[in-house]
Amino acid sequence: MNYEFFIAKRIIGSKAYKSSVSAPIIKIGIAAIAIGIVVMLIAIATGIGLQQKIRDKVVAFNGHVTITNFDSNASDESEIPISKNQDFYPEFESVAGISHIQATATKFGVIRTETDFEGIVLKGVGSDYDWRYFKDFLTEGRLPDYSGEMSNDVVISEYLANRLQFEVGDSFQTVFKKESIDQMPWLRAFKIVGIYNSGFKELDEKFVMGDIRHVQRLNKWNADQVGNFEVFIDDFNQIETKGMEIYDTIPSDLDVTTVEQKYVSIFEWISIFDNNTYGIIGIMILVAGINMITALLVLILERTQMIGILKALGSNNWSIRKVFLYNATYLIGLGLFWGNSIGLGLLLAQKYFGLVTLNPEVYYVTQAPVYLNIDYILMLNFGTFVVCLLMLLIPSVIITKISPVKAMRFD
Q: What is the pLDDT of residues 224-273, one digit of tens each?
A: 999 999 999 999 999 999 999 999 999 988 999 999 998 888 888 888 88
pLDDT at 72 over 60: no
Cα–Cα distances in angstroms (integers) from residue 389 to residues 38, 323, 383, 396, in the given order? 19, 13, 10, 11
In 64-164, the DSSP E strands lie at 65-69, 82-83, 98-112, 117-125, 138-141, 153-157
Mapped onto helix, strand or coil, the DSSP state of residue 234 is: coil
pTM value is: 0.81
- What are 313's strand-pairing partners? none
Q: Which long-range contacts (CB under 8 A, 24 or more apart) does 374-377 make?
A: 376/44, 376/48, 377/41, 377/340, 377/344
Q: How many residues does the chain have?
A: 411
pLDDT at 405 over 90: no
Cα(48)–Cα(370) distance, rounded to whole angstroms?
A: 8
Cα–Cα distances in angstroms (integers) from residue 153 to residues 132, 163, 171, 192, 209, in the given order? 18, 20, 9, 6, 9
Are 257 and 68 a contacting pair, CB within 8 Å?
yes
Helix-helix angle 317-353:374-392, to 10 degrees: 150
Of 23-37, 112-126, 299-313, the least confident: 299-313
Angle at 310 between CA 305 and CA 315, to 5 degrees: 150
Confidence of residue 43 (pLDDT cuts 50, 70, 90): very high
Tell me the mean pLDDT in the region 37-63: 91
Cα(54)–Cα(363) distance, rounded to whole angstroms?
A: 8
Nearest to 62 by CA among 54, 363, 70: 54
Convert the pLDDT of each residue in 177-186 to its tens digit. 876 666 677 8
| Cα distance from N-terminal residue to C-terminal residue, the chain | 31
Residue-level pLDDT at 101: 94
Residue-level pLDDT at 39: 93
pLDDT at 343 over 70: yes
Cα–Cα distances in angstroms (integers) from residue 10 to residues 107, 124, 172, 337, 411, in the given order? 77, 73, 80, 21, 21
What is the share, in percent, of the chain residues with pLDDT greater than 70? 92
Residue-level pLDDT at 126: 94
Cα(61)–Cα(134) distance, rounded to whole angstroms?
A: 9
Are 327 and 12 a contacting pair, CB within 8 Å?
yes
